């Protein structure tokens, strides 16, 4: 979905189409126009703050940060240690964690006990500095070096097996759920692995219309991919049986920013218990517009220490992926956000 913007006038000075660069703002502005909401930048030549007016109500927002978001709530969400403490206090499932500043005996014991761990900066943003699938002391030491580029304190977490989900919660209501799964190919009974991979790259390029320049194609001849095939006893010329899947990435000592995900709407699949937990997680930090990150084996079964946990609560949730990947049957994320901001639903 590529949104074309024209011109926004602010006191005689305006932002051109090229200057409205943030995708979240593009989505908000387009949806506001469709809903009859006046939307203008608060400051000339600056898109950090959008002013929204509907009838006699005006609010100012920063992307998916609403005018109702408390400063303390935003700060708490940035600190993973504080977030975990509040989630645990509210009896919500979290994974085992350890806070360190260096790789000392406590960190080594944590790795020994949990076998596979994740390393994160305490205040990581956009998964920067996060390494997963750490199994050896050497990998741990390297991951801590990377993480310390972003914060002094480092969080070690027990690695949780499963898939990643983002639950969008607005004003105490679950809007939708997206699954982020590492890329894989699935056999059809007649295509070679090489053909399946080429088809996958073509499909993803066509699907990723929001940021096509960032499309991450899988290199057929890459060493990493060849190693994955070797692990599975396969070659590029082999034919997978129908339904057989091969993961294109392994959760083994990798930076999260190196991952290539399939994104799928799972709103229809999440169970009521997990919806309730996501809403409680947002309330625990008093965040009105939140993205709840869950990692679990089965989103249709309640979270627990065997199925999965809540990893993070985000105070600046993404509206781009929901706009691009929510099914037609799922609520529109931007419309739900604007409806909440301006009390439109309450007036009807």
**pLDDT tens per residue, range 109-127:** 999 999 999 999 998 777 7
Joined tokens for residue 309 = 């946990």
Integer angstrom CA distances of residue 206 from 36, 192, 209, 211, 212 = 31, 21, 6, 11, 8
> Residue 258 has what DSSP assignment?
G
Q: What is the predicted pLDDT for the residue at 44?
A: 84
> Does position 136 have pLDDT exceeding 90, yes or no?
yes
Domains of the chain: 7-63 (no CATH), 66-93+161-183+259-343 (3.30.470.20), 96-159 (3.30.1490.20), 186-248 (no CATH)
Are 50 and 58 within 8 A, CB to CB? no
Could you report the per-residue pLDDT of 335-348, keeping only the tens digit for each?
999 999 999 875 44
Alpha-carbon dihedral angle through residues 120, 126, 129, 134, given to the nearest 10 degrees: 60
Q: What is the mean pLDDT of residues 191-200?
A: 89
Cα 160 from Cα 165, distance rounded (Å) = 13
- pLDDT for res 293: 97
- Of all residues in the chain, the percent with pLDDT exceeding 90 is 68
Helices (H), the chain: 23-34, 71-78, 80-89, 105-114, 137-147, 193-207, 223-231, 272-284, 320-325, 333-341, 344-347
The least confident of 245-254, 263-272, 300-309 is: 245-254
Higher pLDDT, 134 or 123: 134
* Residue 53 dihedral angles phi and psi, to the nearest 5°: -130, 130
pLDDT of residue 263: 87
* pLDDT (0 to 100) of residue 40: 92
3-state secondary structure of 31: helix
In our burial notation (b when 16+ CB lie closer than 10 A, e otherwise), range 110-137 reads bbeebebbbbbbbbbeebbbbbbbbeee
CB 280 within 8 A of CB 92: yes
Cα distance between residue 281 and residue 150, in whole Å: 25
The Cα–Cα gap between 217 and 298 comes to 28
What is the per-residue pLDDT across 265-298, written as a single tens digit (0 to 9) for each? 999 999 999 999 999 999 999 999 999 999 999 9
Q: What is the C-alpha to C-alpha distance for residues 189 and 34, in angstroms, rounded to an integer? A: 46
Supply φ then ψ for residue 338, to 5 degrees: -65, -40
Task: Decide: helix, strand or coil at residue 100.
Answer: strand
Q: How far apart are CA 156 and CA 139, in angstroms?
A: 13
Q: What is the pLDDT of residue 13?
A: 42
246 pLDDT band, cuts 50/70/90, is confident
The reported pLDDT for the residue numbered 83 is 96
Sheet architecture: strand order including 57-61: 38-43, 46-54, 57-61
* Predicted TM-score (pTM) of this structure: 0.84
Q: Which residues contact 147 (CB under 8 A, 6 or more apart)?
A: 119, 120, 121, 124, 129, 130, 131, 154
pLDDT of residue 3: 38
Q: What are the tokens at 167?
A: 């639950």
| Rounded-to-integer distance, Cα 346 and Cα 302, Å | 32
């Amino acid at each position: 979905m590529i949104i074309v913007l024209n011109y926004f006038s602010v006191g005689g000075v305006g932002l051109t189409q090229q200057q409205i660069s943030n995708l979240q703002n593009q989505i908000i502005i387009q949806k506001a126009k469709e809903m009859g909401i006046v939307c203008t930048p608060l400051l000339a030549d600056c898109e950090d703050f959008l002013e929204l007016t509907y009838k006699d109500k005006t609010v100012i927002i920063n992307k998916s940060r609403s005018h109702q978001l408390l400063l303390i709530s935003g700060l708490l969400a940035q600190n993973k240690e504080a977030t975990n403490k509040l989630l645990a206090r509210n009896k919500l499932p979290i994974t085992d964690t350890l806070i360190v500043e260096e790789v000392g005996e406590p960190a080594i014991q944590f790795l020994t006990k949990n076998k596979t761990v994740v390393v994160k900066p305490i205040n990581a943003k956009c998964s920067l500095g996060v390494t997963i699938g750490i199994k050896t002391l050497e990998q741990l030491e390297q991951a801590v070096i990377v993480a310390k580029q972003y914060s002094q304190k480092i969080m070690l977490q027990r690695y949780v097996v499963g898939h990643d989900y983002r639950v969008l919660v607005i004003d105490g209501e679950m809007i939708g759920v997206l699954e982020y799964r590492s890329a894989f190919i699935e056999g059809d009974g007649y295509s070679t692995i090489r053909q399946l991979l080429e088809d996958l790259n073509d499909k993803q390029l066509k699907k990723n219309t929001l940021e096509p320049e960032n499309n991450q194609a899988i290199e057929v001849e890459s060493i990493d991919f060849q190693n994955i095939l070797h692990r599975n006893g396969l070659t590029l010329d082999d034919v997978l049986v129908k339904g057989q899947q091969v993961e294109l990435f392994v959760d083994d000592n990798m930076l999260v920013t190196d991952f290539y995900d399939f994104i799928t709407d799972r709103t229809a699949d999440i169970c009521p218990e997990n919806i309730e937990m996501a809403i409680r997680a947002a309330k625990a930090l008093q965040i009105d517009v939140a993205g709840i990150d869950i990692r679990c084996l089965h989103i249709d079964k309640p979270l627990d220490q065997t199925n999965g946990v809540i990893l993070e609560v985000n105070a600046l949730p993404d509206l781009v992926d929901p706009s691009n990947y929510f099914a037609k049957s799922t609520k529109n994320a931007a419309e739900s956000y604007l409806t909440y901001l301006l009390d439109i639903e309450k007036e009807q």
